[in-house]
Amino acid sequence: MENKILLLLFFFALMAAACTSSNYNGYVQPVYIGPSVGLGTIIAVVVSWSRNKSILWAIIHGILGWLYVIYALLVKPK
């Protein structure tokens, strides 16, 4: 559990460093894989499918995006 918390803190530190770059002009371009599908959605769907093997849960977790990815990092599968 301690390693997961350290990994999560490291992830947030990287995000904070990326947001405070020296060439920041007030606008950050989001990263998209396709139309209205973000990276968090894709990771959430893949993790959900590998854990649950359910299309319904994959859709729900895809809507939640990064929230489910962080939850999956912190909670071990049964």
pLDDT tens-place string over residues 15-46: 766 665 555 566 666 665 556 677 888 888 99
**Taking CA 54 as the corner, what is the angle to CA 50 and CA 60, rounded to the nearest 5 degrees?**
95
Bigger pLDDT: 32 or 4? 4
Bigger pLDDT: 30 or 61? 61
Query: pLDDT category, 56, cuts 50, 70, 90?
Result: very high
Percent of the chain clearing pLDDT 90 (strictly above): 13
| Residue 60 confidence (pLDDT) above 80 | yes
How many whole angstroms separate alpha carbon 52 and alpha carbon 68?
13
